[in-house]
Amino acid sequence: MELLPLWLCLGLYFLTVEWRNGSRTATAASQGSCKLIDGVADCQGQNLVSVPSNLPSHTSMLILDTNPLKTLWNYSLQPYPLLESLSLHSCLLERIGRHAFQEQGHLRSLALADNALWENYKETAAALHTLPGLQRLDLSGNSLTEDMAAQMLHNLSSLQVISLARNTLMRLDESVFEGLESLQELDLQRNYIFEIEGGAFDGLTKLQRLNLAYNNLPCIVDFSLTQLRFLNVSYNILEWFLAAREEAAFELELLDLSHNQLLFFPLLPQCNKLHTLLLRDNNMGFYRDLYNTSSPQEMVAQFLLVDGNVTNITTVSLWEEFASGELSALRILDMSQNQFQYLPDGFLKKAPSLSHLNLNQNCLVRLHIREHEPPGALTELDLSHNQLSELHLAPGLVGCLRNLRVFNLSSNQLLGVPTGLFANASDITTIDMSHNQISLCPQPAALDWVGPTSCVDFRNMTSLKSLSLEGCGLRALQDCPFQGTSLTHLDLSNNLGVLNGTVAPLWDIAPTLQVLSLRNVSLSSGLAELDFSGFGNLKHLDLSGNSLASFPKFKGSLALQTLDLRRNALTAFPQRAVSEQLLRSLQTVYLSQNPYDCCGMDGWGALEHLEAIADLAMVTCNLSSKVVRVMELPGGRPQICKWEQVDMGLLYLVLLLPSCLTLLVACTIIFLTFKKPLLQLIKSRCHWSSIY
Ligand SMILES: *[C@@H]1O[C@H](CO)[C@@H](O)[C@H](O)[C@H]1NC(C)=O
Ligand SMILES: *[C@@H]1O[C@H](CO)[C@@H](O)[C@H](O)[C@H]1NC(C)=O
Ligand SMILES: *[C@@H]1O[C@H](CO)[C@@H](O)[C@H](O)[C@H]1NC(C)=O
Ligand SMILES: *[C@@H]1O[C@H](CO)[C@@H](O)[C@H](O)[C@H]1NC(C)=O
Ligand SMILES: *[C@@H]1O[C@H](CO)[C@@H](O)[C@H](O)[C@H]1NC(C)=O
Ligand SMILES: *[C@@H]1O[C@H](CO)[C@@H](O)[C@H](O)[C@H]1NC(C)=O
Ligand SMILES: *[C@@H]1O[C@H](CO)[C@@H](O)[C@H](O)[C@H]1NC(C)=O
Ligand SMILES: *[C@@H]1O[C@H](CO)[C@@H](O)[C@H](O)[C@H]1NC(C)=O
Ligand SMILES: *[C@@H]1O[C@H](CO)[C@@H](O)[C@H](O)[C@H]1NC(C)=O
Ligand SMILES: *[C@@H]1O[C@H](CO)[C@@H](O)[C@H](O)[C@H]1NC(C)=O
Ligand SMILES: *[C@@H]1O[C@H](CO)[C@@H](O)[C@H](O)[C@H]1NC(C)=O
Ligand SMILES: *[C@@H]1O[C@H](CO)[C@@H](O)[C@H](O)[C@H]1NC(C)=O
């Protein structure tokens, strides 16, 4: 492997200074436009152009944020000799007089964020040097370069916390932070730092928190800040992280390297106290299994470390990468959004205290579960968005997931999980198996069954509360697949036909269910109406994307708060009685995208004024082949519907009347036409004595 170009880089965290007065309840007075409470003068946003001089002289905290001061004049703070904290955020400050802080011996905390202090930085620097007891200094957002910062900070040996975030620092050398012996926290995030010379932080013997997020650092090699506890280098362009090969004990507890371009697992200090390691969104993988080489020479990287005229070469065996660093205190490991195709044997064993492991969005194909791997302390395991087709459980292993609470297997290619994986997982509350083509075991399998399994059994998992089986290609549920659980959240969405027209398979868990998602499961209210009467605790029900033609029944189910009925085949709103009963608890209901009939709006009256209809503006109905927004319908029933609603008897009468009249007229004419002969006929037949 060729020699890597030399980058000497080294490595904050800045606690936002708590300017507020907390929750004191002392009575507030007011002086001019400033609020005074317990020695705190709050003059934020009062359009002041200078420091007010009429505040009580014992004021200990002065907040002047967002006032257009522009200049902090010499001696303007002299009336307040007991000031401990001064905040001047966003005051358009360009200039701070060199005597501005004269006799401010008590000042501990000074916030100068978001001003324009680059303009007269020399005078500002002189002013800062008159503050012997200053502990916290916020200079963020002042367009300072490293030279300006160096001048301002030089020998401020009492400073404990400094923020230089959002400035224009680019290169750090040992001169920038010279003499800051007490510094514990340094925030350098959101600058343009691309190089940190060796020794830049050497004088900062008490430094514990360093934030370098959002800079342009290409690597960190020879990391040797043993006293540092918190290091944040997220959002840089790191390709390497390499700790010094020292035997020294590192205090490092939290390392955030997320959102970089690391290719290899970081080469951590041999001895550390790391409990949180964040590696999200890099390009990392393990490679040993992918290369078949017998020559160890090809498996090393050499780092050339140049310091002045001294050159050191560090050789690192890349395939043994994880073996180098200590992980025994690790509790949280986030390896999501990387390129991991496998985890080396023994990798997880090295982290026996691990409680959270995130492997979301990698390329894992297989996971071997062995004794202590993953470690028994694990409570959350996220394997979602991988290509897992097999979880392999070592034969005879039980109780491997003893403490697991959340298991996310979403979006893999699993057909099932090994029998016994969940045996003894007595703390598990949440399983997400969505987007795997699994099936549910028809029979409980024998615990000693070994070999590939192509189904999952959730029965008798008493601790299970939340289960997502969305988009699992589930066929119609048989019997009671969730028997023996007390599920509160169940997602069966996007499984066409999973309920086969009845909610009977859910009756076992009906009393405990609180959230049920049945979106797009091809429910139709063909045979029997859906009956949710036994679901006494159901709070949220999603029935969208089905073909329901009538409202489901909710007798007794009065806990319901949210109901989603979008994209169904409803033509009418529920009857008034039904809605009234529902509305007692319902807070949100979605009704849009149904082919309601504008003339069948009987139930609308009860719903109309309801604020609970979240998509009221989108509810439409069909009015003689037009689609109309229900809200825009004129007050009463549309004119066109009135005809339809008229009493049918009357309608028939009206329709029949013209025909009857025509018939009558015709009869009369016929009668008159044939009157004579008819009369004559009758006369001749009856031999009446003629009166003609
Ligand atoms: C100070 O405390 C009071 C009372 O709790 C609160 O109303 C006020 O907003 C606080 N001031 C600041 C600047 O937080
Ligand atoms: C503060 O006083 C010095 C002289 O001691 C002077 O040079 C400077 O201009 C003054 N600054 C301001 C902001 O008035
Ligand atoms: C800082 O302090 C050192 C020793 O006390 C001194 O030699 C140096 O001149 C000081 N630097 C500045 C800029 O004051
Ligand atoms: C590191 O800094 C970034 C940027 O401020 C922040 O989003 C992230 O939460 C920090 N990491 C930790 C562990 O605090
Ligand atoms: C590695 O190569 C050797 C011969 O060079 C071969 O016998 C062995 O099977 C290979 N191993 C893998 C994992 O490909
Ligand atoms: C180089 O190695 C020597 C001896 O191992 C060590 O004393 C020195 O600090 C190293 N220098 C650098 C720049 O790492
Ligand atoms: C390195 O440079 C220093 C002066 O900068 C010199 O005293 C020393 O002898 C040099 N060392 C080597 C090994 O060249
Ligand atoms: C696992 O559970 C079974 C009973 O279901 C019990 O006999 C066994 O002791 C448990 N094993 C562990 C390691 O907890
Ligand atoms: C599982 O992971 C997926 C994708 O990362 C996420 O959307 C889902 O919310 C997770 N499930 C749980 C229960 O956290
Ligand atoms: C669940 O437990 C009950 C009672 O403990 C038992 O009768 C039943 O067989 C168990 N079912 C399964 C699938 O293990
Ligand atoms: C409904 O579910 C099926 C099966 O999962 C899926 O193919 C289809 O895209 C889903 N339809 C919608 C509208 O989500
Ligand atoms: C679905 O229900 C119908 C009648 O209710 C039944 O005949 C059919 O067998 C069921 N289908 C499945 C897959 O259970």
**Per-residue model confidence as pLDDT tens digits over 300-335:** 677 777 767 777 777 777 666 555 678 999 999 999
679 or 195, greater pLDDT: 195
Instruction: State yes or no: pLDDT of 350 exceeds 60.
Output: yes
Distance CA 485, CA 488 (A): 9
Question: Relative to the CA of 98, which ligand 2 atom is closest?
Answer: 1
Q: Which pLDDT tens digit goes with each residue over 27-37?
A: 344 455 889 99
Cut 0.85: pTM above it: no
Ligand 3 pocket: which of 131, 151, 153, 154 to mutate (most atoms within 8 A of CB)? 154
Distance CA 432, CA 409 (A): 6
Q: Which ligand is nearest to the CA of 26?
A: 1
Q: Show the tokens assigned to 569.
A: 């085949």
Distance 550 CA to ligand 11 centre (A): 22
Helix or strand (DSSP H, E) at 241: strand 240-243
In 3-state terms the chain splits into helix, strand, coil percentages (rounded to 5) of: 15, 20, 65
Ligand 6 pocket: which of 246, 312, 315 to mutate (most atoms within 8 A of CB)? 312
Q: Quick count: other Cβ atoms within 10 Å of Cβ 278?
A: 19
* pLDDT value for 324: 61
**CB of residue 427 inside a 6 A radius of ligand 8:** no
**CB of residue 370 inside a 6 A radius of ligand 10:** no
* pLDDT value for 492: 96
Between strands 489-491 and 430-432, the pairing is unpaired
Distance 42 CA to ligand 1 centre (A): 9
Share of the chain above pLDDT 70, in %: 82
Distance 234 CA to ligand 4 centre (A): 7
**CB of residue 494 inside a 6 A radius of ligand 11:** yes
User: Can you spell out the DSSP letters for 216-238?
Assistant: ---EEEEE--TT--EEE--SS--
**CB of residue 20 inside a 6 A radius of ligand 1:** yes
* pLDDT value for 452: 57
Between strands 219-223 and 195-196, the pairing is unpaired
621 forms beta bridges with 596, 628
* pLDDT value for 10: 31
Instruction: State yes or no: pLDDT of 111 exceeds 60.
Output: yes
Question: Relative to the CA of 402, which ligand 8 atom is closest?
Answer: 14
Q: In the structure, what pLDDT confidence band is assigned to residue 13 with cuts at 50, 70 and 90?
A: very low
Task: Judge whether 572 and 546 are in contact, CB under 8 Å.
Answer: no
Q: In the structure, what pLDDT confidence band is assigned to residue 384 with cuts at 50, 70 and 90?
A: very high
Ligand 6 atom 11: the closest Cα is on which residue? 312
Ligand 7 atom 9: the closest Cα is on which residue? 309
Instruction: State yes or no: pLDDT of 351 exceeds 70.
Output: yes
Instruction: State yes or no: pLDDT of 382 exceeds 80.
Output: yes
Q: Which ligand is nearest to the CA of 309?
A: 7
Ligand 7 pocket: which of 309, 311, 312 to mutate (most atoms within 8 A of CB)? 309
Question: What is the average per-residue pLDDT within 364-369?
Answer: 91
Distance CA 508, CA 487 (A): 10
Question: What is the average per-residue pLDDT within 478-503?
Answer: 90
Instruction: State yes or no: pLDDT of 542 exceeds 90.
Output: yes
* pLDDT value for 28: 43
Kindly state the greatest CA–CA separation across the chain: 157
Distance CA 375, CA 370 (A): 9
Distance CA 162, CA 111 (A): 10
Residue 57 neighbours by CB under 8 Å, 6+ apart: 79, 80, 81, 82
Question: What is the average per-residue pLDDT within 200-211?
Answer: 94
Ligand 4 binding pocket (C-beta < 6 A) is 189, 211, 213, 232, 234, 254, 256, 278
| Dihedral Cα 244, 249, 250, 253, nearest 10 deg | 140
Distance 312 CA to ligand 6 centre (A): 6
Ligand 12 atom 14: the closest Cα is on which residue? 476
Label residue 494 exposed, middle or buried (CB < 10 Å: 0-12, 13-18, 19+).
buried
Q: Which ligand is nearest to the CA of 289?
A: 5
Instruction: State yes or no: pLDDT of 122 exceeds 90.
Output: yes
370 forms beta bridges with 373
**CB of residue 74 inside a 6 A radius of ligand 2:** yes
Label residue 134 exposed, middle or buried (CB < 10 Å: 0-12, 13-18, 19+).
buried
* pLDDT value for 448: 55
Ligand 6 atom 1: the closest Cα is on which residue? 312
Residue 484 neighbours by CB under 8 Å, 6+ apart: 459, 460, 461, 462, 508
Among 39-43, 135-139, 350-354, 620-624, which stretch is predicted with the lowest mean pLDDT? 620-624
**CB of residue 21 inside a 6 A radius of ligand 1:** yes
Helix or strand (DSSP H, E) at 210: strand 209-211
Q: In the structure, what pLDDT confidence band is assigned to residue 357 with cuts at 50, 70 and 90?
A: very high
- The C-alpha R_g of the chain, in whole angstroms, comes to 39
Instruction: State yes or no: pLDDT of 458 exceeds 60.
Output: yes
User: Backbone phi, then psi, for 682, in 5-degree steps?
Assistant: -60, -40
**CB of residue 566 inside a 6 A radius of ligand 9:** no
Distance CA 589, CA 619 (A): 11
Helix or strand (DSSP H, E) at 311: strand 310-317
Ligand 9 atom 10: the closest Cα is on which residue? 408
* pLDDT value for 299: 66
Instruction: State yes or no: pLDDT of 16 exceeds 60.
Output: no
* pLDDT value for 12: 27
Q: Which of 272, 217, 154, 266 is nearest to 12 (CA)?
A: 217
Distance 160 CA to ligand 6 centre (A): 30
Helix or strand (DSSP H, E) at 590: strand 588-590
Distance CA 366, CA 359 (A): 12
* pLDDT value for 651: 56
Instruction: State yes or no: pLDDT of 21 exceeds 90.
Output: no
Distance CA 363, CA 340 (A): 6
65 or 453, greater pLDDT: 65
**CB of residue 305 inside a 6 A radius of ligand 6:** yes
Question: Which residue in this structure is represented by tokens 């800051």?
Answer: 180
User: Can you spell out the DSSP letters for 526-588?
Assistant: SSS--B-TT-TT--EEE-TTSB--SPPB-TT-TT--EEE--SS---SPPPHHHHHHHHTT--E
* pLDDT value for 637: 58
Between strands 626-629 and 620-623, the pairing is antiparallel
Distance CA 188, CA 357 (A): 29
Reduced to 3 states (helix: H, G, I; strand: E, B; else coil), residue 644 is: helix
86 or 678, greater pLDDT: 86
Q: Show the tokens assigned to 507.
A: 């009756």
Q: In the structure, what pLDDT confidence band is assigned to residue 544 with cuts at 50, 70 and 90?
A: very high
Q: Which pLDDT tens digit goes with each residue over 630-669?
A: 877 766 555 666 655 555 556 566 667 777 788 887 777 7
159 or 572, greater pLDDT: 159
Distance 521 CA to ligand 11 centre (A): 8
Question: Relative to the CA of 473, which ligand 11 atom is closest?
Answer: 5
Distance 456 CA to ligand 11 centre (A): 22
Instruction: State yes or no: pLDDT of 620 exceeds 50.
Output: yes
Q: In the structure, what pLDDT confidence band is assigned to residue 406 with cuts at 50, 70 and 90?
A: very high
Distance 319 CA to ligand 5 centre (A): 16
Q: In the structure, what pLDDT confidence band is assigned to residue 447 with cuts at 50, 70 and 90?
A: low
595: preceding bond cis by omega (within 30 degrees): no
Ligand 12 atom 6: the closest Cα is on which residue? 500
Reduced to 3 states (helix: H, G, I; strand: E, B; else coil), residue 407 is: strand
Q: Which ligand is nearest to the CA of 8?
A: 6
Q: Which of 460, 474, 468 is nearest to 516 (CA)?
A: 468
Q: State the amino acid at position 167 in one-letter form.
A: N
Distance CA 479, CA 500 (A): 12
71 forms beta bridges with 95
* pLDDT value for 363: 95
Distance 154 CA to ligand 3 centre (A): 7
**CB of residue 27 inside a 6 A radius of ligand 1:** no
Q: Which of 415, 342, 345 is nearest to 383 (CA)?
A: 342
Question: What is the average per-residue pLDDT within 241-267?
Answer: 90
Q: What is the mean pLDDT of the chain?
A: 84
Distance CA 309, CA 581 (A): 85
92 or 396, greater pLDDT: 92
**CB of residue 520 inside a 6 A radius of ligand 11:** yes
Helix or strand (DSSP H, E) at 665: helix 648-673
**CB of residue 500 inside a 6 A radius of ligand 12:** yes
* pLDDT value for 531: 81
* pLDDT value for 288: 75
User: Backbone phi, then psi, for 599, in 5-degree steps?
Assistant: -90, -5
Q: Which of 227, 194, 234 is nearest to 212 (CA)?
A: 234
63 forms beta bridges with 42, 87
Ligand 7 binding pocket (C-beta < 6 A) is 308-309
Instruction: State yes or no: pLDDT of 83 exceeds 60.
Output: yes
* pLDDT value for 623: 82
Question: What is the average per-residue pLDDT within 178-201?
Answer: 93
The phi-psi region of residue 337 (left if phi > 0; otherwise alpha if psi is between -120 and 50; otherwise beta) is left
* pLDDT value for 585: 79
Question: What is the average per-residue pLDDT within 272-287?
Answer: 93
* pLDDT value for 25: 31
Distance 476 CA to ligand 12 centre (A): 8
Question: What is the average per-residue pLDDT within 557-561?
Answer: 80
**CB of residue 307 inside a 6 A radius of ligand 6:** yes
Distance CA 608, CA 616 (A): 9
Ligand 4 atom 4: the closest Cα is on which residue? 213
* pLDDT value for 657: 73
